[in-house]
Amino acid sequence: EEGSNLTVAVRIRPLTEKDQAVQGGASNIVKIRDKDLIIHSSSLGTDHIFQYDHIFWSCDSSSPIYASQEDVFTTIGKPLLNSAFQGYNACLFAYGQTGSGKSFSMMGQHLTECVDIDSDDYCGIIPRFCRDLFDRISKLKSHSHVAVEVSYFEIYNEKIHDLLATSATKLPLKVREHPMWGPYVVDLTVKPVKSYCQLREYLLMGNKNRAIAATTMNEKSSRSHSIFSVELCMSEGLRKEDNRRSKVSLVDLAGSERLGNSYNTDDKMREGVFINKALLTLGKVISALADQKKNQFVPYRESVLTWLLKESLGGNSLTSMLATISPASSHLEETLSTLRYACQARCIVNRAVVNESPHE
């Protein structure tokens, strides 16, 4: 509908061997009927029915409605690229419990090896987005110019870690807010890139740094958010006013599993509450934005993630959420909680405004 710049999609991954290994084996509780996503379980009194902008059925590749990595990218990734070229900010975040397919959707199967889109069908949204970006740049008219810069960082326990830093000292970085251009990370590595090939090296480097951090600190991989950002600076003529700047942030959120019922009893789960502060705040920000009539205060600054995403969640940008779920009966509660979170998000209505470059 007009004016709605938020897209909410749900993706259902296949049953894994781990799912089957639970006592009695897990059954599939998710069904699709037309535009409805149905949760059917004998432990529920009635079926639960949800609707979203898109439902990606990725359970079995033999199904006629099977959604591949390419399908998911085409539906939710490409529109972000289109709006970036028009000068709008954009943001996509993957939300769901650990093991539900966030990283698979965002990055792919072989995160630290090769991200060769032509030979790897499992490449996720980020490498596809980046390759398409350079494809489009190569087809631009000769008087147009687009400069591309990327950054890649993680937020763990409200602290920012640069995934592209080459220096040995990897102290957490700080956030500051520019009066006109909004929040940014101080001293973050920002790499100019001229080709997909060059960009891919940074993706691999960041993924490797992420993996190293995850193995030295056991649960870090499920409890940190990773943010990969691409900034475009487009010039179409000689006039400075014709320049446009836009930023796309592609976010693999921390596992949502502690959000459930436990987040009200904050003492019990001190660590969990702290770690998931961003998800809690994201929920609050989403509700405040959804409840536009009340002209509510939007608590962006209550977490580092939402503060940094401020320009992508408010009125100045396009936002997409990909909620990932497991089809297994053993994950019923977490799945329902993810589906409800995504439903609430669907109510946000953003009004986008074209960004202009700073006039120096």
Cβ distance to Mg ion smaller for residue 228 or 300: 228
Least distance between Mg ion and beta carbon 103 (Å): 3
Q: Is 314 a residue that touches ligand ADP (CB under 6 A)?
A: no
Cβ distance to ligand ADP smaller for residue 72 or 304: 72
By CB under 6 A, name the one of 96, 182, 283, 327 that touches ligand ADP. 96
Cβ distance to ligand ADP smaller for residue 87 or 206: 206
Cβ distance to Mg ion smaller for residue 50 or 156: 156
Least distance between Mg ion and beta carbon 151 (Å): 19
User: Residue type for 154, please?
Assistant: E
Query: How long a stretch of residues is the chain?
Result: 360
CA-CA distance, 96 to 14, in Å (whole number)?
Answer: 15
Cβ distance to ligand ADP smaller for residue 137 or 250: 250
By CB under 6 A, name the one of 7, 83, 100, 189 that touches ligand ADP. 100
Contacts of 220 (CB under 8 A, 6+ apart): 156, 213, 214
Q: Is 95 a residue that touches ligand ADP (CB under 6 A)?
A: no
Least distance between ligand ADP and beta carbon 58 (Å): 4
Q: Phi and psi of 213, rounded to 5°? A: -60, -35
By CB under 6 A, name the one of 83, 85, 87, 101 that touches ligand ADP. 101
By CB under 6 A, name the one of 5, 58, 226, 316 that touches ligand ADP. 58
Q: Residue 30: CA atoms inside 13 Å, Cβ hemisphere, count?
A: 28
- Residues that bind Mg ion in the complex, under the rule CB under 5 A: 102-103
In 3D, which of 338, 342, 345, 337 has the Cα closest to residue 291?
A: 345
Q: Is 104 a residue that touches ligand ADP (CB under 6 A)?
A: yes
Contact 248, 84 (CB under 8 A): yes
Residue with structure tokens 């979170």? 341
Find the DSSP H helices in 55-148: 69-72, 78-85, 102-106, 125-138
Contacts of 34 (CB under 8 A, 6+ apart): none
CB under 6 A: which stretch of 38-46, 92-100, 173-181, 204-212 binds ligand ADP? 92-100
Tell me, by CB under 6 A, how many residues bind ligand ADP. Answer: 14
Q: Phi and psi of 275, rounded to 5°? A: -65, -40
DSSP assignment letter at 60: -
Contacting ligand ADP within 210-239 (CB under 6 A): none
Contacts of 293 (CB under 8 A, 6+ apart): none
Positions that interact with ligand ADP (CB under 6 A): 13-14, 16, 58, 96, 98-104, 109, 324
